[in-house]
Amino acid sequence: MRKHSGILLALPAWLWLVCFFVVPVAIVVVFSFGEKPDIFSTHSLEHLSFDRYAEVFTPAFFTTFLNTLWIGLAGTAICLVIGMPVAYWMAVKVRPERRGLLVALVMVPFWTNFLVRTIGWQILLAPEGWLSTLAQGIGLPAFEILNTRQAVLLGVVYNYLPLMILPLFVAFDRVSGPLREASADLGAPKWTTFFRITLPLAQPGIIAGVLLVYIPLMGDYITATVLGGAKGNMVGQLVAGQFQTALNWSLGSAMAVVLIGIILVSVAIGAGIVWLVTLPARSRNRLVLGPAQPAGARAVTAPAVVEGAGA
C-alpha cells in the first residue's frame, strides 16, 4: 500500500488529463487522416489517407503557415531584444528593494485579459483612434497600420513580452553579484563580463523565455483576429475556421498536426543552431581539473586568462 501511495495520489490528475487531453488530441490526429464526405457532416473515417495533409501543403493554405512562421520568429527575436535589457536592468541595476514592485508591474499586463489588451491596441491603432489623432495633430499622415501584418507583429510582441522578461529576470537574478565583481576585479571590461560570465550562466533562462514566447505565439489566434483583420494571417485562425465555419474537421485537424510539427521541427533546428554557435565558447570556457591532461588543460584555459588580462 505504502509503495503504491504515490501512484494512487497522482491517479486523479493522471486520469483527468488522459481523459480530457490525451484522448481528444489523439482523436484529432486520427481525424486528420479522414475526409469531409458531404456538406452536412464534419468528418468521415471511411477512407483513411494523407490527402488532407496534401491539401494543407497547397499554396492557398501553406502561405499562411509560412506567414505564421515569419511572425513567430520575428516576434520572438524582437521580444528577446526588447526584453533582455529590461530584465538585466531589473535584476542587476535597480536597487533590490524596488525589484518586487517592478516584477509586479511587469506581471499586471501579463495577467490582464489577453483579448482585452489586444482590443486596447485596436483602439489605439484605429484610423480615427488616439495615436492617429496625435500623429495628425503634429502634422504626420494618418495611421493605416490596423489590419496589416505589422499590426499583428506589434500585437504579438506586446502580448508575449512579459513572458520573455520574467524568466530572463529570474535567470539574471541567479547570476550572483560576487561573480561579476570578481570578473571586474580581474580587469575584465563590462562587455566581457556580460558575454563571458552573465550570459552563459543565464542561458537556461534565455532558452526558457524563448520557448515560453515562441510556442504559444505560433498557436496564437486572438491577436491576428483582433489586429489582422479578416485576411487570416495566422494558422490559429485557419484551424479555428475549419472547425467553426467550414465544418471540415479533418482538414482542421491536419492543419493542427502540421502546426505542432512545424513548432517541434523549428525548435529542434533552433536548438541545433544554438548548440553549434555556442560550441567555440563552451570549449574555450571549459576548465579541465585534475592531472588527466595537464598540458591540454593549460592550453584550453590559458587563452581565456590571457584574453581576460589583456582586455
Partner 1 sequence: MSRPSTRSLSDRAFGVWGVLVLIFLFLPIAVVIASSFNVGRLLVSWDHFGFDSFLALFLKPAVRDAVLVSVWTGLIAALVATLLGALAGLAMARHPGRWQLWLLGLLLLVSVTPEIVDAVSLLPWMVTLGQDAGIAIFNDGIVRLVIGHSLFSVAVVAYLVRARLIGLDAKLEEASADLYATPVTTFRRVTLPLAMPAVLAGFLLSFTLSLDNTVIAAFVSVSGSTPWPVYVLSALRSGLRPEIAAVSTIMLVLTLAALALVGYVLKRAGDSAADIARTMSGG
Q: Is the dihedral of CA 135, 141, 143, 149 positive or negative?
A: negative
The single residue among 74, 103, 145, 274 that binds partner 1, judged by CB under 8 A, is 103
Segment 199 to 238, residues that bind partner 1, using CB under 8 A = 211-212, 215-216, 218-222, 225-226, 236
Chain-centroid distance of CA 161 in Å reads: 9
Site membership for partner 1, residue 245 (CB under 8 A): no
Q: Which is nearer to partner 1, 201 or 297 (CB)?
A: 201
Question: What residue has cell string 539574471?
Answer: 172
Length of the chain: 311
Segment 26 to 85, residues that bind partner 1, using CB under 8 A = 27-28, 31, 42-43, 82-83, 85
CA distances, 250 to each of 39, 40, 181 (Å): 13, 14, 59
The single residue among 243, 247, 274, 308 that binds partner 1, judged by CB under 8 A, is 243
Residues near partner 1 (CB under 8 A), total: 97
Q: Which stretch, 50-58, 255-263, 268-276, 302-310, contacts partner 1 (CB under 8 A)?
A: 255-263
Separation of alpha carbons 112 and 119, rounded Å: 12
Collapsing DSSP to helix, strand or coil, 44 comes out as strand
3-state helix, strand, coil in the chain (%, to 5): 75, 0, 20
The string over 22-42, giving b where at least 16 C-beta atoms fall within 10 Å of a residue's C-beta and e elsewhere, is: eeeeeebeebbbbbbeeeeeb
Distant-in-sequence contacts of 93-97, Cβ < 8 A, 24+ apart: none
What's the min distance (Å) between Cβ of 98 and partner 1?
9
Q: Which is nearer to partner 1, 268 or 288 (CB)?
A: 268
The single residue among 47, 174, 282, 298 that binds partner 1, judged by CB under 8 A, is 174
Q: Which is nearer to partner 1, 240 or 274 (CB)?
A: 240
Q: Which is nearer to partner 1, 149 or 220 (CB)?
A: 220
Q: Which is nearer to partner 1, 107 or 281 (CB)?
A: 107
CA distances, 77 to each of 60, 89, 156 (Å): 27, 19, 11
What's the min distance (Å) between Cβ of 239 and partner 1?
6
Q: Which is nearer to partner 1, 261 or 303 (CB)?
A: 261
The single residue among 152, 166, 199, 254 that binds partner 1, judged by CB under 8 A, is 166
Nearest to 196 by CA among 293, 303, 288: 303
Q: Which is nearer to partner 1, 197 or 250 (CB)?
A: 250
Site membership for partner 1, residue 113 (CB under 8 A): yes
